[in-house]
Amino acid sequence: MNNLAIVAVKTDTKIQPKYKGISLFLVEGDTPGYKRGRHLKKMGWHDQDTSELVFDDCRVHKSCLLGGEGNGFKLLTSELQQERIVIVVEAVGDMHRMLAQTKEYIKERKAFGQAIADFQNTRFKMAEMYTMAEMSQLFLDRLIEGHVAGEDVRVETAMAKYYVCEANKAIADGCLQLFGGYGYMEEYPIARAYRDVRIKTIFGGATEIMKEIIAKNKLA
């Protein structure tokens, strides 16, 4: 069961549009013709293992089919609302953590005889980032309440995925700037945070896709 994978396969090449005719299969690690390929080096998320999956004349039994033939795309997209909310939860958590770390640093670090926190530019920048984090938290709370109640909040979730993840990226950049040269050093957690948050505007639906979802619904 090692290297177990769920694979999306085009089982009907004639049906249109192209996203139809996709099925999901559970492929066990000891299946002939299936193996794990090279390890992929990522910009961030270094603690998450990511590798290529290689299929060479790999055959699986029909009992490995998940959710019925041709239902793959439906299954893949059925939980997108919850997936995107989870990403937003992670992004908001990132914001609060980075701001707490930065607040501690700027109060201790001194320049020109005073703490960095005492400079007006620093205070204004922190005020901006705290406001972005609070707005994101409030939006998230509203989404979770609606989602748990069974409401269709797909459009609002797209808005949150777009806004909050972009804000997360902006706060990571702003906090690293306040750390100065130290922020560029691997020994400081802000350096890792800066790398790790970058993927959030890409996975679960890129920012551009979120904007398309929003525009499609709001301009209909």
Active site residues: 83
Contact (CB, 8 A) for 161 and 87: yes
**What angle (nearest 5°) sits at the alpha carbon of residue 33, between those of residues 32 and 35?**
100
Type of residue numbered 121? N
Distance CA 3, CA 36 (A): 7
Half-sphere exposure of 160 (CA within 13 A, CB side): 29
The partner residues of 208 in beta bridges, in order of sequence, read: none
Q: Which two tokens mark 57?
A: 């004349």
As a 3-state breakdown, the chain gives helix, strand, coil percent values, each rounded to 5, of: 55, 15, 30
Q: Which two tokens mark 122?
A: 């620093």
Distance CA 137, CA 196 (A): 20
Residue 24, helix vs strand vs coil = strand
Strands ordered across the beta sheet of 5-10: 5-10, 22-27, 65-66
